[in-house]
Amino acid sequence: MWKEVRAVLFDLDGTLIDSAPDLGAAADRMRTDRGMPSIPYERYRPMAGAGARGMLGVGFGLPPDSPEFAQMREEFFRNYEQCMTERTYAFEGVEELIARLQAVSMPWGVVTNKSMRFTDPLTQQMPLFATASAVVSGDTTPHAKPHPAPLLEAAARIGLPPESFVYVGDDERDIVAGKAAGMKTVAACYGYLGAAGDTLHWQADAQINSPLELLKLLERG
């Protein structure tokens, strides 16, 4: 389908890896540390893509403009740092997808809004990322997604023009950023946001319901 695509960039959480269990655990620990009852993991999961904002919203009903948000966010970050690879795993099919890209010498990389504080240790601890040609975090450039700057940085690191990339993500801001960077875009409907119907209005170039479906778009499967 897309013979012109020569490299692939992925969002991280909700696209390559499922970090929702560790994110939820970090927030829930804050509740139990305060003597509050634990909340079922299923309540946290849909908001995992929103990071601290989502987890504190579920755990405490705390909006980002709350006076105590910054302090609570830092406590959440400290908890998450201690457990970020305990329950996190690659989505089914991701390891095979990466292996197939490697087999045809197609470079791949990661562009996430997660800060380097978490992205660097996580990607260094998970063998999956050993072959990534670029890992760009939310604070690598002056702007995070939906601004195209992080995607353009990844393209520059890999050494190919933006129009030769496809960007895969599970959030609308991923598609906005990809389009702004001049890349093909794919909505990962297996991520945190669920059903394909929720993603149609993003107007991505394509949608996939499992990681390996990307190979069909690349004519590599």
220 has a pLDDT exceeding 60: no
Residue 190 CA: distances (Å) to CA of 35, 68, 91, 142, 210: 35, 34, 9, 30, 6
Q: Give CA–CA dist 22/39, Å, rounded.
A: 14
Alpha helices in the chain (DSSP H): 20-33, 41-44, 51-60, 69-83, 94-103, 116-125, 149-158, 172-180, 213-217
Q: Place 216 in a pLDDT band, splitting at 50, 70 and 90.
A: very high
The three-state secondary structure class of 10 is strand
- Is residue 11 annotated as part of the catalytic site, yes or no? yes
- Is residue 13 annotated as part of the catalytic site, yes or no? yes
Domain boundaries, the chain: 7-18+88-217, 20-83
Q: Give CA–CA dist 15/9, Å, rounded.
A: 11
Rounded to two decimals, what is the model's pTM? 0.93
Q: In this predicted structure, what is the pLDDT of residue 195? A: 46
Q: Give CA–CA dist 218/104, Å, rounded.
A: 11
Q: Nearest 5°: CA angle at 216, between 193 and 145?
A: 40
Q: In this predicted structure, what is the pLDDT of residue 196? A: 46
The three-state secondary structure class of 49 is helix
Q: What is the CA radius of gyration of the chain?
A: 17
Per-residue model confidence as pLDDT tens digits over 79-137: 999 999 999 999 999 999 999 999 999 999 999 999 999 999 999 999 999 999 999 99
Q: In this predicted structure, what is the pLDDT of residue 192? A: 82
Per-residue model confidence as pLDDT tens digits over 164-199: 999 999 999 999 999 999 999 999 999 887 544 578
Longest Cα–Cα distance of the chain, Å, equals: 56
The three-state secondary structure class of 119 is helix
Q: Are 20 and 4 in contact (CB under 8 A)?
A: no
Q: In this predicted structure, what is the pLDDT of residue 197? A: 55
Fold of 7-18+88-217: Rossmann fold (3.40.50)
Residue 124 CA: distances (Å) to CA of 22, 107, 175: 17, 18, 26
Q: Are 73 and 56 in contact (CB under 8 A)?
A: yes
How confident is the model over 55-62, as a mean pLDDT? 97
How confident is the model over 54-71, as a mean pLDDT? 96
Q: Are 7 and 111 in contact (CB under 8 A)?
A: no
Amino acid code (one letter) for 204: A
| Across 17-21, 74-78, 151-155, 217-221, least confident range | 217-221
Per-residue model confidence as pLDDT tens digits over 18-47: 999 999 999 999 999 999 999 999 999 988
Q: In this predicted structure, what is the pLDDT of residue 32? A: 98
Q: In this predicted structure, what is the pLDDT of residue 82? A: 95
How many Cα atoms occupy the beta-carbon half-sphere of 155 within 13 Å?
A: 20
Q: Which neighbouring-strand residues pair with 187?
A: 169, 207
